[in-house]
Structure 1
């Protein structure tokens, strides 16, 4: 057993320091910034000199609905997909954890935290939970979580309880709108520790590890992180259950925008370059 796997099995998570180079991560952050800047240009906002956080705040202030749609769409960017499936990440599972075959149960997730970017009555981090109910794949399935900016205890860190994965699937609240949250008697506040990570670090976490998003953050700072999940195709119960996933694939076939596109709009796309 590798030292990384031994620590992972003991704590329920492992932080691979500097697994990715900063330039690679910065490129993805710049790609996300372009998406928000494109939206600002679409509504005729001067974007000169804006970085990602500036652009997000400007769109949030100018057009909240457009901001929400953009923030909800960036997980589908190819740059984000490629970063979360970087060969150094999957190679870590092969080389350090001994995996040989991988299933990808769902898509990517973008985690945005900042006081200035709060959505009224909306998302501001997740409470205490485990990820297994939202995946239901291999028992040794792994969550991969990585920051696009430095995250310390004052910048909305991921908070985890070491060793909590060994308790298996824990009881959740049985009413209300947050059925995924663990019952308060299932954990102690004093047991949470913050994952303080730099750009290039990657957190590998068990689906059963108890964790949450901290709401502690300094005004004027933001935390932008990405995550995805992997299932071990060789885990015996996963094979026996015939590779289940809680993620469901569906297609919305009704038109989002009536009378779109027009013939002229389609023809414009295929005109020869001038």
Structure 2
């Protein structure tokens, strides 16, 4: 059992709380294996050999369209990802921290981060930012960050700045998909927890955070889910804003239809 009062207190005061052993590690390992398998299908198709990282790099460097499509598919339709996002224990946690009617205000996201698998830094290392600005969700909305492996500092896990959520929104601009914020790292304590598979970190969408620096040669696999409180009075008053746009690419449709 988890100490719900402690979790609520940490979220209120610090804006972030780590909950050890929230999930059975086997469930998390199953998700990582399912995500890897999507890429493996293309490795086999192209005859790409080597260890998993070298296979990923080869696909990225030589078959970028297929690499990007694999990345999209593991986020939009990977059954195991959605099973965790709506896992009864996770939904119960949302209820326990005060969300009587929790809602996933964005699609689940699964990350595979490594400098060799990105064309620029912001694709594998997020800058200082707040999530709330890109979501416009309830004031008590949270992000649940879940490593799909044991992560140490060398893997570059998330760096949190406890207490910064009390500053409120620090920007109204979105750049490269992130609401980058002006923030003095020395003005708040720094928390970069090392987590094991099955542990989770829950944090306020207003909390300032960033990616850590990857200093080893391993892909950092993780996922995160965002939940908003549908009964938050301010969220209701604002009319449930939803700034995300998901639509098909007409250019890509035309490209493949012309091939037939």
TM normalised by structure 2 equals 0.87
Q: Evaluate the alpha carbon distance shift between residue 149 and residue 238 of structure 1 in structure 2; reply closer, same or farther with a 3 A threshold.
A: same
| Helix, strand or coil at the partner of 2:223 | strand
Cα pair 1:130 1:207 within 8 Å, conserved? yes
Cα pair 1:124 1:215 within 8 Å, conserved? no
**1:156 has 2:156 as partner:** yes
Per-residue deviation, 1:234: 1.5
Quote the Cα distance in structure 1 between the aligned partners of 2:200 and 2:73.
Answer: 23
2:194 to 173, 193, 196: 196
Q: Evaluate the alpha carbon distance shift between residue 33 and residue 258 of structure 1 in structure 2; reply closer, same or farther with a 3 A threshold.
A: closer
Cα pair 2:108 2:225 within 8 Å, conserved? yes
> Which 10-residue stretch deviates more, 22-31 or 112-121?
112-121
Q: Evaluate the alpha carbon distance shift between residue 4 and residue 215 of structure 1 in structure 2; reply closer, same or farther with a 3 A threshold.
A: same
The match for 1:267 is none
1:18 to 17, 21, 24: 21
1:205 to 199, 203, 206: 203
Quote the Cα distance in structure 2 between the aligned partners of 1:138 and 1:190.
Answer: 24
Q: Evaluate the alpha carbon distance shift between residue 178 and residue 256 of structure 1 in structure 2; reply closer, same or farther with a 3 A threshold.
A: same
**Which runs of 5 or more structure 1 residues have no equivalent in the other structure?**
263-274
Quote the Cα distance in structure 2 between the aligned partners of 1:91 and 1:178.
Answer: 30
Q: Evaluate the alpha carbon distance shift between residue 72 and residue 251 of structure 1 in structure 2; reply closer, same or farther with a 3 A threshold.
A: closer
Cα pair 2:49 2:55 within 8 Å, conserved? no
| Helix, strand or coil at the partner of 1:110 | strand
Cα pair 1:161 1:210 within 8 Å, conserved? yes
The match for 2:88 is 87
**1:146 has 2:143 as partner:** no
Task: Map Cα deviations across residues 40-70 of structure 1 (whole Å, 9 max, x no partner).
Answer: 12223357xx55x454234234423322332
How many residues in Structure 1 have an aligned counterpart in Structure 2? 255
Quote the Cα distance in structure 2 between the aligned partners of 1:189 and 1:165.
Answer: 13
Quote the Cα distance in structure 1 between the aligned partners of 2:177 and 2:26.
Answer: 38
Cα pair 1:132 1:207 within 8 Å, conserved? yes
Quote the Cα distance in structure 2 between the aligned partners of 1:140 and 1:122.
Answer: 27
Quote the Cα distance in structure 2 between the aligned partners of 1:12 and 1:205.
Answer: 5
TM normalised by structure 1 equals 0.83
Cα pair 2:134 2:178 within 8 Å, conserved? no
